[in-house]
């Protein structure tokens, strides 16, 4: 089935630790995105990529890093520099400048 797969669904991070969230799509979409969602707030853009080997910072990129080595994959690393990482993370993809579609999300909790 075509879609966007995020893994893991639940992830726990210790203080000072980097963690990576995986996002894979088989929709042949050019653009991919990472959003953060906190309770009662709208989606906030972390990073986006419109083509392979190129990506741009969103509104809240500090403490996060990404790579886009393959069209299908856009992993997000939450670094120890991100002081408040507990949130619901959403990966999305779209044909260029068109409707975006989301994965099922990943919960990250600091322990």
Partner 1 sequence: EDQVTQSPEALRLQEGESSSLNCSYTVSGLRGLFWYRQDPGKGPEFLFTLYSAGEEKEKERLKATLTKKESFLHITAPKPEDSATYLCAVRDSNYQLIWGAGTKLIIKP
Per rule CB under 8 A, is residue 11 in the interface with partner 1?
A: no
CB of 58 to partner 1, least distance (A): 9
In the block, residue with structure tokens 């068109």: 98
Tell which phi-psi region holds residue 16, choosing left (phi > 0), alpha (psi between -120 and 50) or beta: left
Q: Which is nearer to partner 1, 31 or 80 (CB)?
A: 31
Distance CA 22, CA 35 (A): 13
Q: Give the contacts of 33 (CB within 8 A, at least 6 positions apart).
A: 45, 47, 48, 49, 58, 74, 91, 92, 93, 94, 100
Among 45, 52, 61, 110, binds partner 1 (CB under 8 A): 45
Q: Which is nearer to partner 1, 52 or 101 (CB)?
A: 101
Beta bridge partners of 45: 35
Per rule CB under 8 A, is residue 105 in the interface with partner 1?
A: yes
Per rule CB under 8 A, is residue 43 in the interface with partner 1?
A: yes
Per rule CB under 8 A, is residue 61 in the interface with partner 1?
A: no
Per rule CB under 8 A, is residue 101 in the interface with partner 1?
A: yes
**Residues at the site binding partner 1, with contacts judged by CB under 8 A:** 4, 6, 40-45, 88, 90, 92, 97, 99-105, 107
């Amino acid at each position: 089935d075509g879609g966007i797969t995020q893994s893991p669904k639940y992830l726990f991070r210790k203080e000072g630790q980097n963690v990576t969230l995986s996002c894979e799509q088989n929709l042949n979409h050019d653009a991919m995105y990472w959003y953060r969602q906190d309770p009662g707030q709208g989606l906030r853009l972390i990073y986006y990529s419109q083509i392979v080997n190129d990506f741009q910072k969103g509104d809240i990129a500090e403490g996060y890093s990404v790579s886009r080595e393959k069209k299908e994959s856009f992993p997000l690393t939450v670094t120890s520099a991100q002081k408040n990482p507990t949130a619901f993370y959403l990966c999305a993809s779209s044909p260029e400048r068109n409707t975006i579609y989301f994965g099922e999300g990943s919960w990250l909790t600091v322990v």
